[in-house]
C-alpha cells in the first residue's frame, strides 16, 4: 500500500489545496492530510477548526485521513510508515522553500521522498494569505475556496476583527 502525507497549515483551506488532495488521492492508496501549527505563522483558525473545514471539503474521498501533528513531518512519516511527502509548487518562491525543506527532510530521514505537484492553471495564484487579504477588504473569495467553507472563513475572520 502506497501512503503519502500532505502537510500544511491550511489556514484557510483553499481550492488549491483541494486540487492537490484530489489528485494525490488518485496517485496513492492513502493520503494523510496533516494540519500543523506553524510557529512562524499567525493563524486565524484553530487546528480543530482547520480540520473541520478540510473534512467538509474532502468527504467524497474515501482514502483521505486528516489529523494534526506538532512534530516534524518526517517524524510523522516514520511513526506511520509513510515514505512520501506531497507538496504543492506554485512558483519560484515556493521552489526555493520546498527545496530547502526537501534537503533537511532527506538529511533527517533519507528514506522519505518528496513529490511535488503543480497546481491546475486556475489555482496557480491562490494562497492562504491572499484569501485573508481579500476577506479583509470585503472581496468575494468564492472562486478561491471550496463553497462549503467560504462563509465559515468570512464569518470567522469578521468576528476576529471585532
**pLDDT tens by residue, 16-67:** 999 999 999 999 999 999 999 877 778 999 999 999 999 999 999 999 999 9
What is the CATH number assigned to the segment(s) 3-161?
Answer: 3.40.50.620
Sorted by where each begins, the domain ranges of the chain are 3-161
For this structure, is 17 an active site residue?
yes
Can you give the pLDDT at residue 36? 92
Backbone phi, psi, residue 132, to 5°: -60, -40
In the chain, the percentage of residues whose pLDDT exceeds 90 is 81
For this structure, is 36 an active site residue?
no
For this structure, is 60 an active site residue?
no
Among 23, 80, 90, 106, the one annotated catalytic: 90
Can you give the pLDDT at residue 41? 79
Provide CB contacts within 8 A for 79, sequence distance 6+.
none
Can you give the pLDDT at residue 161? 66
Take residue 131 and report the three cell numbers written for it: 484569501
Amino acid at each position: 500500500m502506497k501512503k503519502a502525507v500532505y502537510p500544511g497549515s491550511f489556514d484557510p483551506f483553499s481550492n488549491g489545496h483541494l486540487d492537490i488532495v484530489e489528485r494525490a488521492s488518485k496517485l496513492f492508496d492513502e493520503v494523510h492530510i496533516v494540519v500543523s501549527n506553524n510557529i512562524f505563522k499567525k493563524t486565524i483558525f484553530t487546528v480543530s477548526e482547520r480540520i473541520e473545514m478540510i473534512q467538509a471539503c474532502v468527504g467524497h474521498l474515501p482514502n483521505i485521513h486528516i489529523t494534526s501533528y506538532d512534530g516534524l513531518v518526517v517524524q510523522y512519516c516514520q511513526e506511520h510508515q509513510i515514505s512520501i511527502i506531497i507538496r504543492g509548487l506554485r512558483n519560484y518562491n515556493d521552489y526555493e522553500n520546498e527545496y530547502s525543506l526537501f534537503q533537511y527532510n532527506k538529511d533527517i530521514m533519507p528514506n522519505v521522498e518528496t513529490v511535488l505537484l503543480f497546481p491546475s492553471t486556475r489555482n496557480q495564484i491562490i494562497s492562504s494569505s491572499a484569501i485573508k487579504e481579500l476577506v479583509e477588504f470585503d472581496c468575494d473569495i468564492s472562486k478561491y475556496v471550496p463553497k462549503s467553507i467560504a462563509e465559515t472563513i468570512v464569518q470567522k475572520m469578521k468576528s476576529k476583527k471585532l
